[in-house]
Structure 1
Amino acid sequence: MRALIVDDEARVRKAVRLLVDWQEHDIEEIEEAGSGREAIKVIKNFKPAIVIMDMMMSSGHGMELMAWVSEHAPSLKFIVISGHNDFEFVRSAVRHGGIDYILKPIEPEAINAAVAKAVGQWQSEERERREQQQKSIRLNEFRPVYGEKLLSSLIDDPGSAESAMRRLHAEGVIPETADQGRLLLVQIDSGDAALLQRFGNDSELLHFSLINICNEFLLPEGMGVAFKYWGAPMEIVILMWKQYDRAPELIARVNDGLFHTLQRRVHAGLGSVGQLPQSLPAQYAEADHAMRRRNLLQPDQYVHSAKSGPQDMGKGPVLSFSNVQEEWKTAIQSGDQGQIASAARHWIDALCRSGYVSSEMLQSWKSDILSFRLALLRETLGQDAGSPASELEQDDSGQTSPRTNSYAFSPSAWREWAELVMTRLAGEISRRRSRENRLIGEIITYIDHHYRSELSLQDIASHFYVSREYVSRKFKQEFGINFSDYLTNYRIDKAKVLMLNPDLKVQQIAEMVGFNDVKYFSKVFKKQEGMTPREYRNK
């Protein structure tokens, strides 16, 4: 706490300094002034809580100082010291809010009691001021939130729209005469990191600033109100109930204001004029549709209606993923980085040549690309596609892919993303194929070492920690036959080599290649070779 001593006599100021127990009263800083006029200057800069002042001074009467304090610093508490026992002075001090009136010579008990009284009153009023300030802050925080929720409910809660409208009328947010309105939807570019950084990465503060700028153009003319739409985190809704045809002009003025303050401009989707509040859900859908279909290749067009689209531009059919799917598939299966880069580049070039790229189109493309990736994995890896698909999806979550709702289309960002998707998919397929080829090689080696023994599909699956189905499927894929046929063919081929040795009997050969029954061996041999083992040996 701070105190100011005002007296034209230095000795009196010194006496006051010595007589008051400042520490007991929690007063840490003390300044002095030699006149009323000097005291006013000190008060403006020093901002004391308490002033101890003489009434009669040669330069600047104490009455003048009290009058100034009463008008310009009413929270300040002052104690009057005077050598004149004059009732008029006492009455003036009381009238101007003085705490006490002390006669010279000053008694320590009297001045400390007066200071204690002044400090207590100032602290009490300061607590009240702070409490009132906190109440005001909470109220000011509550009112916008309350208003935003009511305004948002007009769009996303038709069942309560009529009651919300009545409350908004009662609060004076929307005039009771407003029976029609037009909704404008502004979507903030959430990828504008530089803009967000200017607001300390506080999106709420960014919202607040943009809404204030919009309302600077709306509220003075009573045209409408801008508010944060609670149904979407990065959207501002402008509701106009007056001069609807000036909506494009309003957005132009808002953009001029934004550019002047933040060097940015915003895009807005327009709804059609309709009855309030029942038309607002449809208006919002219309404005949102307009924003999703706006042409990102024309970033300088800031106002969009639901009619915007490729048909209005006289263009041909919208480019579809099927136009490039085969080129992508070939590039991925080749595993060649040059082909992959070329496929990504051709896609972007075709998009730019089309003259029309929208957020809606990019979202569809992104969905088609991810579906294509899963389909190619399944086509290439069969039922084993689940694990690599999950791994690629996890990679997606760790990478920043281009956003479909950006304010402009970035060919380089989308080309890099497409190239990354294809490169990772090609790499995953190649790794899986290599791993499977190694596994098949290991299985064939195992068969070569154990074909003489009883060997089943389950034995192979258990040894290599895979499923029976997996082994069976891989033999079909690699050799065109199932495992049992492969093993039989392998044993017969080994038997044919052994038959070149005339010292070995057929029964011995059968047992050596894994057949315990020579008759069954002869039957299998004849089925495969078209002749019996003996006929084969004698030919």
Structure 2
Amino acid sequence: MKALIVDDEARVRKAVRLLVDWELHGIDEIEEAGGGFEAIQMMRLGRPAIVIMDMMMPEGSGVDLMAAVNEFAGTVKFIVVSGRGDFDFVREAVRHGGIDYLLKPIEPEAINAAVAKAAKQWLLEEQERNDRQKQSMRLNEFKPVYGEKLLTGLINEPSTATIVLRRLHEEGLVPEGTRTARMALLQVDASDKQLHERFAWDSDLLHYAIINICNEFLVARQNGVAFRHWGAATEIVIVVWGNGENLLGILQEINEGLFVTLQRRMHMGLGSPGHFPDAMPMHYEEALSALHRRNALDANDYTHSSTETAAVKRMTFTDCEEEWKVAALSGIEGQLTAVSGRWLEAARLSGYLSPQMLEEYKTDVLQFCVRLLRDAPGRQAVEENGLLSTEELSEHSPYAHASALSIQAWRDWSYELLLRLSQAIAQRQAQEKAKMSDIAAFIEQQYQTELSLQDIAKRFFVSREYVSRRFKQEYGINITDYITGIRIDKAKLLMVNPNLRVAKIAEMVGFHDEKYFSKVFKKQEGVSPKAYRAGLTI
């Protein structure tokens, strides 16, 4: 809280400074003025809460000061000090807002009581002023939101249009007698970091600024209204009353206004004229379709009609899918680079590339990655190896509805995605190869025991079918024959010892039936175990 001491005598000003317990009254800033005119200038620069002043001064009396001050600052509390107990002066002081009237010489108790009274009243009034201001701000914030939600209801809830329209008439947002209208949809670029940083990433503030610019060309001329679409975070709806013959001109003016104020132009989709408010949902879909299907390659066109149709073949990712698969499985750098930008280049050369096509391309590419990883060796989730998270890559993809298309940004994203896919597949293959090696090592250690396919699958947390298929792919032999081969090889080594009977050897390598062992041995080696042993001694 600030106080100002006004007196033409410096000693009096000093005395007031010393007599008042400023800290007790919450006053932390004290200024001085030697006359009424000087005080007025100081008050214009920084309005004090309390003014303690002499009634009689050579340069502007206290009464003159209060009269002048009341013209621009009705919140100041005056404490009048005078050497005369003249009733007329007291009356003038009270009439001009004086809180107290003190006679010289000033008593400490009297001036502190007067300052306490003035400070308390000022704080009370200041609180009331703040409360009124906050209430006014809340009302000012609520009223536009209320209106925007009513207007949005004409699009999203057509069944309530009759009730909503009556309220809109009452609020003055829609003129009485409006029977036709035409809609446009303005799209805010969610990827424009520079613009959003300018508004401290406060999207409400950004939309408020854009809507205000739009309404300068609409509400001020009483030919339409712009409002935020509460069903979509990046859309601002522009409605022009009547058939909208002048809509294109208005949109051009709005875009110029946006460019002057924000250094940005924004894309707008057009709906056709129609009955108001019944046709609002249909017109919204038309305008939205126009934005989604606009040719993003045309950098100079910002207004788009729903009737525009590209007379070229629409590119789809399926045209490049096989090339992506070959590149991802090969992992060759040059192939990854060439393939990742092929679809985008083909679309660019066709002369037509819409935000809708980019969205479909992104979806198709991500689904392709999931499918290829699902078909690749292994059963792990896509994200387990840390190389490919489709959710992360989707979030970091370029924005399909950006005001300015960057083919390079999409090419870089596509390459990054294809590279990670290739690395993920290679890692999965290495992991699966290592797993088959582990299974082979396990068989080497446990060949004497009963080893079933089910036991092996359970131990390594995979299915029987998977073990059977992958083991044969890796070693060129099914797992049962591999186990048998290990046992026969071990048996051949044991036969070098003449003290071991064939039956004992069969048992030692995992065969519990000597006849069956002999049969299997002969099938693999072409001779019986006895004949094989006999051959060793020759």
The equivalent residue for 1:427 is: 423
Q: Structure 1: how far apart are the matches of 2:388 and 2:172?
A: 50
Which of the numbers 362, 387, 392 marks the counterpart of 2:381? 387
2:331 aligned with 1:340 = no
SS at 1:387's partner residue? Answer: coil
Q: 1:444: how far off?
A: 4.1
Mapping of residues 118-517 of structure 1, within 5 Å: 118-242=118-242, 244-311=244-311, 315=312, 317-381=313-377, 384-385=378-379, 387-388=381-382, 395-399=389-393, 400-444=396-440, 446-447=442-443, 454-475=450-471, 477=473, 483-484=479-480, 516-517=512-513
Distance 1:243 1:74, change over 3 A: farther
Contact 1:506 1:533 in 2 (8 A): no
Q: Deviations over 1:255-293 (max 9, x none)?
A: 222222221111111122222322222222111111111
Unaligned runs of 5+ in 1: none
Query: Aligned partners of 1:462 and 1:21: how far apart in 2?
Result: 86
Moved more, 140-149 or 289-298: 140-149
Q: Distance in 2 between matches of 1:341 and 1:287?
A: 37
- Matches of 1:510 and 1:207, distance apart in 2: 84
Distance in 2 (CA, whole Å) between partners of 1:386 and 1:278 is 53
- Secondary structure class of the residue paired with 1:3: strand
Q: Is the alpha carbon distance of 1:418 and 1:19 closer, same or farther for their aligned partners in structure 2, counting shifts above 3 Å?
A: closer
Which amino acid counterpart does residue 247 of structure 2 have in structure 1?
A
Partner deviation per Cα, 1:301-353 (whole Å, 9 max, x = no partner): 10111123323xxx2x1112222112112111212111111111322221210
Higher alpha-carbon deviation: 246-255 or 283-292: 246-255
1:69 corresponds to: 69
Distance in 2 between residues matched to 1:385 and 1:445, nearest whole Å? 21
C-alpha deviation, 1:107, in angstroms = 5.2
C-alpha distance in 1, partners of 2:225/2:201? 26
Residues 40, 466 of structure 1: CA spacing in aligned structure 2 closer, same or farther, 3 A cutoff? Answer: same
Counterparts of 1:19 and 1:376 in 2: how far apart (Å)? Answer: 87
Q: How many residues align?
A: 530
Contact conserved, 2:383 with 2:389, CA < 8 A, in 1?
A: no
| Secondary structure at the counterpart of residue 287 of structure 1 | helix
Give the aligned residue type for 2:389.
D
Cα gap change, 1:8 to 1:454, in 2 (>3 Å): closer
Compute the displacement of 1:201 (Å): 2.3
SS of equivalent residue, structure 2 residue 71: helix
Separation of aligned partners in 1, 2:71 and 2:101: 20
Query: Tell me, what secondary structure is at the counterpart of 2:342?
Result: helix
Q: Which moved more, 1:440-449 or 1:483-492?
A: 483-492
What is the rounded CA distance, in whole Å, between the counterparts of 1:345 and 1:161 in structure 2?
48
Alpha-carbon distance in structure 2 between the residues aligned to 1:14 and 1:480: 106
The DSSP-based 3-state class of the residue aligned with 2:5 is strand
Closer/same/farther in 2, CA of residues 117 and 387 from structure 1, 3 Å limit: closer
What is the letter of the counterpart of residue 268 of structure 2?
A: A
Q: Is the 8 A contact 1:374 1:389 kept in 2?
A: no
Q: Taking every aligned residue pair, what percent have the same amino acid on both sides?
A: 53
Instruction: Note the residue ranges of structure 2 that are not aligned, 5 or more in a row.
Output: 533-538
Q: Is the 8 A contact 2:35 2:58 kept in 1?
A: yes
Post-superposition shift, 1:14?
4.5
Letter in 2 for 1:333: L
- What TM-score do you get using the length of structure 1 for normalisation? 0.85
Seen in structure 2, the aligned counterparts of structure 1 residues 380 and 35 have a Cα distance that, compared at 3 Å, is closer
Aligned equivalents of 1:100, 1:453: Cα separation in 2: 108
Alpha-carbon shift at residue 385 of structure 1 (Å): 4.7
> In the alignment, residue 66 of structure 2 is paired with which amino acid?
M
Q: Tell me how far apart the structure 2 counterparts of residues 27 and 499 of structure 1 sit (CA, whole Å).
A: 108
- CA 1:142–1:507: 2 relative to 1, 3 Å: same
Q: Do the aligned partners of residues 214 and 264 (structure 1) sit closer, same or farther apart at CA in structure 2, a change above 3 Å counting?
A: same
C-alpha change, 1:467 and 1:58, in structure 2 (3 Å) is same
- AA at the equivalent of 2:344: I
- Residues 55, 326 of structure 1: alpha-carbon distance in 2 compared, 3 angstrom cutoff: same
DSSP-derived class of the 1:300 partner: coil
Q: Assess, with a 3 A threshold, how the Cα gap between structure 1 residues 16 and 243 changes in structure 2: closer, same or farther.
A: farther
Between the aligned partners of 1:13 and 1:61, the Cα distance in structure 2 is 16
8 Å contact 1:523–1:532 — kept in the other structure? no
Distance of 1:167 and 1:274 partners within structure 2:
21
- Provide the rounded CA distance (Å) in 2 between the counterparts of 1:302 and 1:255: 8
Deviations 1:108-143 (A, max 9, x none): 555444444333332222121111112112222222
Structure 1 equivalent of residue 536 of structure 2: none
Q: Is the 8 A contact 1:20 1:108 kept in 2?
A: yes
TM superposition shift of 1:356:
0.9
Whole-Å separation in 2 of the counterparts to 1:153 and 1:325: 43
Question: In the alignment, does 2:24 pair up with 1:36?
Answer: no
CA shift, 1:493, in A, is 9.4
**1:191, distance to aligned residue in structure 2 (A):** 0.9
Query: Partner residue of 2:92?
Result: 92
C-alpha contact 1:295 1:309 (8 A) present in aligned 2 = no
Instruction: Provide the rounded CA distance (Å) in 1 between the counterparts of 2:441 and 2:5.
Output: 103
Distance 2:317 2:519 in 1: 56
Measure, in 2, the Cα distance between the counterparts of 1:87 and 1:318: 94
Normalised TM-score (structure 2):
0.85
For structure 1, which segment, 284-293 or 113-122, has the greater mean C-alpha deviation from structure 2 after superposition?
Answer: 113-122
AA aligned to 1:143 is: K
Any idea what SS the aligned residue of 1:135 has? helix
| CA shift for structure 1 position 466 | 3.2
Counterparts of 2:465 and 2:348, CA distance in 1: 47
> Could you tell me which amino acid in structure 2 is paired with residue 158 of structure 1?
P
